[in-house]
Amino acid sequence: MAKHEYAFYPGCSSQKGASASNYLTSVESMCKTLDVKLTEIPDWNCCGASIGYAEAGELPRHVLNARNFALSEQHLPGQEIVATCAACWLGARETRERLTHSDTLMADTREALKEAGLTINEMPNVRHMVEVLIEDLGFEEMAKHVVRPLEGVKIAGYVGCQTNRPFGVAGESFENPVYLDKMVEMVGAESIPEYEQKVTCCGGALAFSEPEKAQAQIKDIVESAYDHGADMIVTPCPLCQANVEIYQGQINKRYGTKFDIPVMYYSQLMVVAYGGSAKDAALNGQVIKARRLEEIAAKPVKR
Amino acid sequence: MADIKVAAYICKGCGLGERLDTDALVKTAQKDGKVPLAKSHEFLCNADGVAMIKNDIANEGVTHIMIGACSRRAKTEAFHFPEHAVARANLREGVVWIRPDTEEARETTQEMAEDYIRMGCAEVKAMTAPAGNLNTGGSKTLLVVGGGVTGMTTAIEASKTGYPVVLVEKSGALGGWAGKLYKRTPVHEPYKSPADTGVADLVSQVQADSNIKVYLNATIAKTDGAPGRFVVDVATESGATHTEDIGAIVQATGFTLYDMNKLPELGGGKSPNVVDQAGLEALAAAAAEGDGVIRRPSDGQPVKSVVFVQCAGQRDTTGQHLSYCSGFCCNASIKQAMYFKDTNPAVDTTIIYTDLRTPGNGEDFYRSAQEKGVIFTKGKVAEVLPTGNTSTVKFNDLILGDTDAAMVDVDLVVLATGQVANSGINIDALAATAEEEGAVEVKPISILNLTYRQGKDVPQLKQGFTDSHFICFPYETRRTGIYTAGPVRRPMDIAQAREDATGAALKAIQALENAELGRAAHPRSGDLSFPKVRLEGCTQCKRCTVECPFGAIDEDEKRFPVFNESRCRRCGTCMGACPVRVISFENYSVNTVGAQIKAVDIPDEFSEKPRILILACENDAYPALDMAGMNRIEYSAYVRTIPVRCLGSVNTIWITDALNAGYDGVMLMGCKSGDEYQCHFVKGSELGRTRLSKIDDTLKTLNLESERVRDLEVAITDIERLPEMINKYAAELVAVGPSPFKGF
Amino acid sequence: MSANTAVAEKYRNNFLKEIEEQVEMGDWVKMCMQCGVCSGSCPTNFQSAWEHPPQELFMMIRAGKREEVLTSSSMWNCTSCYNCIVRCPRKLPITHIMHGIAEYAHRLGMAPKMQPTRFFSGLFWKNCTHTGRVNELKLSMGLYFKDGFVQGIKNGMAMQSVALGLVKAKRLNVMELFGGHKCKDQKGVHAMLKKAYEIERSRKTAKMAG
């Protein structure tokens, strides 16, 4: 039996051929090393994300998340739900808080769930993968598996919004969370604690609907990483990753910049540091290639 | 004068023995100080050292004691010889702690110590032990003027402490403003709703207390005397006058709401539907008697919409209205808005404010009002236009940037007009207008009718609130034994007024007890000295009677000063003011300081050792210098410091004497003066500075540079700044060159 | 509307009540103390200034400016970064209130028609609830073609390099256009959501009736 087991809520962007499929690949490799077993919630659905607000309404939004709770309870009783996506985690966790605090909302939710033949008896805990790593495993345990430290790589820890606010990781400040910096240090790379854009918004869904507004923010985020001499940026959020990575070309056109900085998931760094191959870490999934990591991943591991 | 025998004692403890040649100091005392008995001791403040001194008093007939040890602010209990004149030479904080422990510094450090020994010996010889004031009274009764919450609380607190109280109230009932309130701002958890005023309970406590004598419909016709022996005439409605012997007085005469008729642009006085906060309380109280519905005064229809206008006639920058914030009115309007919301949530209640000020738990009260649906709009009301039974409120919406915002069909407008102190006659303004003839304004009626030479009431600040040392002695007025509490002192609410009342009651009790023993009140608490005047030398110039910050000195028919010792705070301002130097204290006089100045050994002009005299206020500057010593901050060895009771006590003769004697410069260190004064004697430092501003003339006659006298404003916190200023001044004087008076 | 009735409408708290009853978290609006920390914390208010930042919207609601609030494009500038929520000293759930007002304006048909984020928001919800999971390709295509076919092709061309990069990295699958990911129990998802809408509507109507 694995050391830790969870009901897994990968979310839409992590699916095959979707924008964060590389995230999923690297999380799977990372969990293998750490002996964490993730069992996908059967037939899970979208969380609705915050951007669905124009039509979501309150109850439909919560019912959507409650369906996942019900499925988890039914198929994976007693397991906590773990999400890798910031929006999935936030949406599910918000539903959990609201239903816990309102009997009416809970009753209405149960009534709607009935239509899908489902019910909720107990509220599950909803965790982000980062919480699992920090709280259930701890930095010491994570560090034990490092066999190929990412020496000489300088990485800006970009936490972004939704893994940080309004809930955040316990013990971290909203204005200056430090866990990503600690993770960077843990894999043997150099962190940039003074990186001032670490909690700046990437623009979220506005990157699609109003690109000029979002790209103004992304420019700040990338520029500051360059100013601090970063080789790459690391983030725990799929939308942050996508927005900060894939629009660099457009920003270069718009602002005359020469941005070309890789944006990684923490899980990718860990997989390489844990001795995984470029494929295990899904480095091929980068639009802006992470050459430094590819080089390190090509080196033999001293075990 | 009886025979005196002076003894000098040099301490070797606290490192003095290692750093100084104490044998030489003993010799200095004998030779230069001309002291018949001089000794050193390993540890003077210990039991053995003190026993040695006591033994010399008993067996050697020592009457005057000079202690060369630590600062006069230290070891006061060990060196407490109340029957004898005592001087202290500050060798520790004033010498070894501010000098480097190096071979080069040894000579100048020793010179400094020797000078302080010379000064101490000279000073003590010019002193006598204070014999105390015999002209005291022993009345233990407290007079409380004003029967509002503050007055009643003062009376109850004093009575509970065991002191009888006479309470005088000008109206026919106890309760004051608070008695007219429907409810008050809450002071207990959960701070969510208006609370009972508690006035009825206070009234019944006062009425049930046989120790409290209440005069209703009464005023103070005359207040004569001094603390411990005030004689007060209480005039009652019937015309009869009752005379009471009083120990101390608490004036709790409260406030009047700023007159809304002065605010016609806000509808004040233009419609019965525009009221001040008192008007709204009356409407709410009337409603509570009936069906609970607050009605529009013009036609008796239920109020469906009400607007509260904050800062009406307050925080005014045009100079027409009150310039200050009264502090209580935001909470009061929130409370009044709840009168409506608590009975009918459908009533539109809007509070228009520029800054909502609800300190402390007022923040919970504010939140509660928001929960109840009171609308808070940030804006500045420009105009209230009453038409028929409603009004239009025009305002500048500060959030939406709408300068023409308006609310129409408002049934009731409430103006938060703020507090004006009922502090009686402004005696300073009277003095000012008396000088410019003509312009006669209608003066308020005196409250205390003091028979004091300086005027009938206690002095006021420029806004009409009574003057007090705001930081250190908030309740004390500038009339010893007379305290003010409540909104007459500063704007405040009920909770603050009750706290004030308790504090003032205790301070008043302290004052009457001190008065009986002939002791000073703060800041020289316990001091038995008091000014003595040599009338045969007096020129009846009236400076002392005019300048005394505490109105302690009256005048007799021949315009000679009459000192009222119990009213005196012992600051010495009279002594500093006296041009013929006939005023002195037994232990502090023109001579005690003058003798010290002359005792300093002035090196000749070729020695390159300047001498700087520092006259330092004992309340702030001297402690700051001591603390510099405690922190081992070094400063020049060329200064010789003499503590003074107040800058106001500095007589210009000291400065002339010092410059004549060959000192190169004089530094005067006193507290901040002016509107934001820090002087413990309120006006002392200001009066001192006015006097010293004329020193330039003296310098000119002596043909000296103006740099030779330096006036410094000093706070007790200037521990690091003072040594810097001293060193800077010493360097400046080197540039100016030595005084031409050396060696004469 | 005459100027007089406009003034008469102004500064009555009816609209506040409407917001309290019809908008998610709307009952918090009255608790705002107008400090402006939300406006100073909003990233898009920094980049290109909202017409009415949250603090101002709250004041407008209290002032009864119904039309101006509901037709405003301001709240559609929200990126859901939640900075205002964590910084609000009065703990108002500002992000949710912004979403709530936007949703209400959309529901009433008063929201600005061509506001791109409004359009995208609706598109996203339809996209994800249609199969139970998001189809990223259709979502992007839908957005590009919001202003018609020709504009859609142009938009698509503009985004071509971005899309190509993703396709190369196997993070965008062109086959998604024909089917793609979905929930097995699509029917159940639809039925459940239909019910949820019904319940929510009836609750709001009941509130309106008092």
Q: Does C124 touch chain A (CB under 8 A)?
A: yes
pLDDT for C3 beyond 60? no
**Coil, strand, or helix at residue B6?**
strand
C-beta separation of B481 from B213 below 8 A? no
Q: Would the pLDDT of C204 be above 80? A: yes
Fill in the amino acid letter for B414.
V
- B687 with B547: CB under 8 angstroms? yes
Chains within contact range of chain C (3+ C-beta pairs < 8 Å):
A, B
Domain at B1-129: CATH architecture: 3-Layer(aba) Sandwich (3.40)
A287: which residues sit within 8 A by CB, 6+ positions away? A245, A246, C165, C166, C168, C169, C171
Strands A36-40 and B85-90: unpaired
Successive 10-residue mean pLDDT values, chain A, 303 residues: 92 93 97 97 96 94 97 97 97 97 97 97 96 97 97 97 94 96 98 97 94 95 97 97 96 96 98 97 96 95 70
Which of 78-97 (C) contact A at CB < 8 A? 79-83, 85-87, 95
Q: Residues near B428 by Cβ (< 8 Å), separated by ≥ 6?
A: B459, B460
**Minimal-distance CA residue of chain B relative to C63:** B377
The distance from CA B434 to its chain's CA centroid, rounded to whole angstroms, is 26
Verify whether the Cβ–Cβ distance B375 to C30 is below 8 Å. Answer: yes
User: Is C162 in contact with C172 (CB distance < 8 Å)?
Assistant: no
Region B496-505 average pLDDT: 97
Contact, A265 vs A286, CB < 8 A?
A: no
Q: Write out chain A residues lying below 8 Å of C106, CB-based.
A: 54-55
Let me know: does B726 contact B639? Beta carbons within 8 Å: yes
CA dihedral B30, B31, B35, B37 (to 10 degrees): 20
CATH superfamily, region C3-112: Alpha-helical ferredoxin (1.10.1060.10)
- Closest by CA position to B669, among listed B651, B690, B643: B643
Q: Find the helix or strand (DSSP H, E) in which B387 lies.
A: strand B375-387
C-chain residues within 8 Å CB-CB of B405?
Answer: 10-11, 63
Q: Give the pairing type, strands B6-11 and B218-224.
A: unpaired
B153 exposure class (CB count in 10 Å sphere: 0-12, 13-18, 19+):
buried
CATH 3.40.50.11810 is the classification of domain A146-298 = yes
CB contact under 8 A, A53 and C102: yes
Q: How far is CA C78 from CA A128, B420, C53, C121, in A?
A: 24, 49, 10, 11
B614-653 confidence digits (pLDDT tens):
999 999 999 999 999 999 999 999 999 999 999 999 999 9
Which residues of C are less than 8 Å from A56 in CB distance?
Answer: 103, 125
Q: Give the angle A224-A225-A228 at the CA atoms, nearest 5°.
A: 85
pLDDT of residue B386: 97
- Closest CB to B407: pick one of C11, C31, C59: C11
Mean pLDDT in chain C? Answer: 88
For residues A105 and A62, what is the distance between their CA atoms, to the nearest angstrom? Answer: 9
- pLDDT for position B439: 45
> What is the average per-residue pLDDT within C157-174?
87
The residue assigned the tokens 């999934």 is: A285
H/E segment holding residue A196:
none
Check pLDDT > 60 for residue B436. no
Q: How many whole angstroms separate alpha carbon B224 and alpha carbon B449?
A: 9
Report the sign of the C-alpha dihedral through residues C123, C124, C125, C129, in that order. Answer: positive
Across the interface, of C106, C139, C143, the residue whose CB is closest to A55 is: C106
* B77/B50 Cα distance (integer angstroms): 10
Of C7, C30, C90, the CB nearest to B406: C7
Cα B328 to its chain centre, rounded Å, is: 24
C11 at B interface, C-beta within 8 A: yes
Contact assignment for B397 to C59 by CB distance below 8 Å: yes
Residue C11: what pLDDT? 37
* Whole-angstrom distance, CA of residue A18 vs CA of residue A34: 25
Q: Which carries the bigger pLDDT value, residue B522 or residue A207?
A: A207
User: What is the structure's pLDDT at B2?
Assistant: 59
Ramachandran area for residue B674 (φ above 0: left; ψ -120 to 50: alpha; else beta):
left
Q: pLDDT tens digit string along B337-394?
A: 999 999 999 999 999 999 999 998 999 999 999 999 999 999 999 999 999 999 999 9
**Above 70 in pLDDT, residue B247?**
yes
- Triad C13, C19, C21: Cα angle to 5°: 105
Within 8 A by CB and 6+ apart from A296, the residues are A148, A150, A153, A272
The per-residue b/e assignment along B157-191, b for 16 or more CB within 10 angstroms, e otherwise, is bbbeeebbbbbbbbeeebbbbbbebbbbbbeeeeb
pLDDT band at C205 (very low <50, low <70, confident <90, very high): confident
d(CA C131, CA A15): 14
Considering only the beta carbons, identify the residue of C8, C31, C56 that sits closest to B370: C31
Question: Domain locations in chain B?
Answer: 1-129, 142-254+422-516, 257-419, 532-577, 602-744
**Percentage with pLDDT > 70 across chain B:** 98
Which run of H or of E encompasses B238?
Answer: none
CB contact under 8 A, A204 and C118: no
- Express each pLDDT in A171-204 by its tens digit: 999 999 999 999 999 999 999 999 999 999 999 9
Per-residue pLDDT tens over the stretch B558-593:
999 999 999 999 999 999 999 999 999 999 999 999
Whose CA is closest to B713, among B574, B616, B627, B641? B616
Residue B438 pLDDT class (50, 70, 90 cuts): very low
Q: Which CATH number, 2.60.40.10, 3.40.50.150, 3.30.70.1880, 3.50.50.60, labels domain B142-254+422-516?
A: 3.50.50.60
The reported pLDDT for the residue numbered C131 is 93
Is residue B545 within 8 Å of residue B578, measured between CB atoms? no
Residue C2 pLDDT: 39
Closest approach of chain B CAs to the CA of C81, in angstroms? Answer: 24
pLDDT at C18 over 70: yes
Structure confidence at residue B444 (pLDDT): 79
Predicted confidence (pLDDT) per residue in B136-185, tens digit: 999 999 999 999 999 999 999 999 999 999 999 999 999 999 999 999 99
Statement: residue C82 has pLDDT above 80: yes
Strands A154-157 and B419-421 turn out to be unpaired
Fold of B602-744: Rossmann fold (3.40.50)
CA B290 distance to own-chain centroid:
49
Q: How far is CA B471 from CA B254, B595, B678, in A?
A: 21, 35, 8
Chain C: give the shortest CA distance to residue B411, in Å. Answer: 13
Q: Are B124 and B76 in contact (CB under 8 A)?
A: no
- Verify whether the Cβ–Cβ distance A209 to C132 is below 8 Å: no
Mutate to test the interface with C, among B376, B404, B411 (most CBs of C within 10 A): B376
Q: Give the list of residues 6+ apart from residue B36 with CB closer than 8 angstroms, or none.
A: B5, B6, B7
Give pLDDT, residue B433.
54
Which chains pack against B, by 3+ Cβ pairs within 8 A?
C
Is-contact A56 C103, C-beta < 8 A? yes
CB contacts < 8 A, B to C, total: 49
Q: What are phi and psi of B691, to 5 degrees?
A: -65, -45
Residue B152 to residue B468: CA distance in whole angstroms: 22
Check C77 against A117: CB less than 8 A apart. no
**What's the CA gap between A261 and B598, in Å, rounded?**
82
In a mutational test of the B interface, the residue from C9, C10, C11 whose CB has the highest number of chain B CBs within 10 Å is: C11
Average pLDDT of the segment spanning C103-107? 94
Nearest residue to B689 (alpha-carbon basis) of B711, B704, B707: B711
- Give the percent of chain B with pLDDT over 90: 89
The CA distance from A165 to the nearest CA of chain C, in Å, is 6
Question: How large is the ipTM?
Answer: 0.94
Task: Return the higher-pLDDT residue of C150 and A164.
Answer: A164
Q: For chain C, which residues make up each domain, given as ranges?
A: 3-112, 116-202
The conformation of residue C174, written as its DSSP 8-state character, comes to G
How large is the greatest C-alpha to C-alpha distance in chain A, in angstroms? 59
Which of C81, C120, C129 shows the shortest C-beta gap to A201? C81
- Nearest chain A residue (CA) to C189: A116
Task: Please report, as a single letter, which amino acid is at residue B154.
Answer: T
Which residue, among B183, B159, B165, B578, has the nearest Cα to B343 in the 3D structure?
A: B183
Q: Which residue of A has its CA nearest to C199?
A: A108
Beta strands in B675-714 (DSSP E): 709-713
> Please, what is the average pLDDT of chain B?
94
Q: Dump pLDDT digits (tens) for B399-432.
A: 999 999 999 999 999 999 999 999 999 988 766 5
pLDDT given at position C9: 46
CA angle C152, C156, C162 (to 5 degrees): 155
- For the residues B663-684, what does the mean pLDDT come to? 94
Residue C40 pLDDT > 80, yes or no?
yes
What does DSSP say about strands B532-533 and B583-584: parallel, antiparallel, or unpaired? antiparallel
Q: Which of B307, B363, B365, B399 should we substitute to test contact with C (largest number of C Cβ atoms within 10 Å)?
A: B399
Say how far apart CA B327 and CA B324 lie, in whole Å. 9
The partner residues of B640 in beta bridges, in order of sequence, read B613
CB-CB neighbors (< 8 A) of B399 in chain C: 34, 55-56, 59
Query: Quick one: pLDDT at residue C175?
Result: 82
Provide the CATH number for the domain formed by B257-419 in this structure.
3.50.50.60
For B508: left if phi > 0, alpha if psi spans -120 to 50, otherwise beta; the answer is: alpha
Select from 3.40.50.450, 1.20.1050.140, 3.90.700.10, 3.40.50.1820 the CATH code of A4-129.
Answer: 1.20.1050.140
- β-bridge mates for residue B218, sequence order: B236
